[in-house]
Chain A
Amino acid sequence: MTRSNKNIIEHDHNHDGIDRRGFLKCMAWAGTGAFCVIQGGVLKSYSLSRLSEIGPSEAAGELSFVQISDSHMGFNKPANPDVVGTLKAAVDKINALSRAPEFLLHTGDISHLSKPEEFDTVDQILKNAAPKDAFFVPGEHDVLNDDGKSFRDRYAKNAKGDGWYSFDKKGVHFVGLVNVMNLKPGGLGTLGHEQLEWLEDDVKHLKHSTPIVVFAHIPLWSVYPEWGWGTEDSAQALSYLKKFGSVTVLNGHIHQTMQKVEGNVTFHTACSTAFPQPQPGKAPSPGPMKVPDDQLRGVLGITDVNHVQGQHGLAVIDSSLA
């Protein structure tokens, strides 16, 4: 891969392809040909149209997993009247990967209205995915009626508090956080004191060289607070992760891919498998964006993440459903 995409790196102070100070962002409308590469061992991102350019050594690693997000099962408006079909297409995409990913992460808004039948449908579809292991964190649409009890009963039985937990896979420490509960009037996503205390304790004894992957629904960085796209107390959470050499944060919620690098932390949001949302501030509201039918699958997608043991980095690859 090259680092020639000058649209992405604006201030390459360290000549390592990473803009550490400024707002390094990549608006990758998957399927439109836009893609970003951050080298220096931290993060790589490819859209589907570039997958063929990735050699086998880059595609394979000690650990690979996929992220899907915002399935909104039950949504049936014009922006995408067939969310079942597009989720199935995402699963087909996952199953077409040359090497089956170890597991699947879903970063929330599994359902549209927290209905049991919506969760059932998603579960049925995901049964056909090659990775048999799946990990979930709730979106605000998954905890509408019962403060998330039915979500936890189904997807996070052994979790703490409102549904947060951590696990280790091949030397990588994964942390699933919940930032969609107890939202305050006028506010953003919230982690809350209890969860923050748990997180501090959870990572306290880990070696600094342990790669960390944090996943949560609402972005843990300020994407666009005017639309509620951020988490109020995320800075506190990230302060506990400062000591680690490699931290990757995976979020959903905003239905588009975006990336940002800040020091050792790479932030990444995934596309929705259901419908796209407008770029920050580019519409009167963050409601579903209607795109022509033949373009819809180009703005929906999955994220495929590889971890190569012995390196700090995680490679994040975005694929559209086109």
Chain B
Amino acid sequence: MSRSVSICSLAAAAAFLFVGVFGATKPVSATVPQAPASTAEVKIDNFSFGPQTLTVAVGTTVTWINRDDIPHTVVSNNGVFKSKVLDTDDKFSYTFSKAGDYQYFCSIHPKMTGKVVAQ
């Protein structure tokens, strides 16, 4: 995961460099391809978060999706993020703009815990 993210970042940097060097002579149009923002997914299934520990680059948007037939929540232990109740197939996203370890749990089934490492 972290390897593909850094390749993405490299691509983003290259794209900006291209615009920076050549953009001045040519008006930048809206069609110039933007580097896709980094994303990652955590699946909620069988009363667990998968992967339980997810490592992402700072700036990555993580989306949790509930594939269980019971509602769950995604709540950071120290209140950084808190989803609404996610029924089956509902999603919740949070963008990790600061590096750190983010422990979280399901506030309905607190035995369900997970961690996102943003670096």
Mark A residues whose CB is within 8 Å of B. Answer: 77-79, 112-114, 140-141, 144-145, 183-188, 226-228, 284-288
Asked if B52 is at the interface of the complex by the 8 Å CB criterion, the answer is no
Total contacting residues, chain B, CB less than 8 A: 22
Main secondary structure of the interface of A (DSSP, over half): loop
CB <8 Å contact, B110 and A185: yes
Main secondary structure of the interface of B (DSSP, over half): loop
Task: State the Cβ distance, A206 to closest chain B Cβ, in Å.
Answer: 33
Task: State the Cβ distance, B40 to closest chain A Cβ, in Å.
Answer: 21
Give the residues in chain A near B47, CB-CB below 8 Å: 227, 285-287
Known A145-B84, A188-B110; further 7 A-B contacts with Cβ < 8 A: A113-B85, A141-B71, A144-B71, A185-B110, A186-B105, A228-B111, A287-B69
Partner of B71, one of A112, A183, A184, A186: A112
CB <8 Å contact, B69 and A113: no
CB <8 Å contact, A140 and B46: no
Mark B residues whose CB is within 8 Å of A. Answer: 46-48, 68-71, 73, 77, 84-85, 87-88, 103-105, 107-111, 113
C-alpha gap A101/B63 in the complex (Å): 49
CB <8 Å contact, A185 and B113: yes
Residue of B nearest to A228 (CB): B111
Given A79-B69, A185-B105, A186-B105, do A228 and B85 touch, yes or no (CB 8 Å)? no
Task: State the Cβ distance, A150 to closest chain B Cβ, in Å.
Answer: 13
Residue of A nearest to B84 (CB): A145
Partner of B110, one of A112, A184, A288: A184
C-alpha gap A186/B109 in the complex (Å): 8
Task: State the Cβ distance, B47 to closest chain A Cβ, in Å.
Answer: 4
CB <8 Å contact, A287 and B71: no
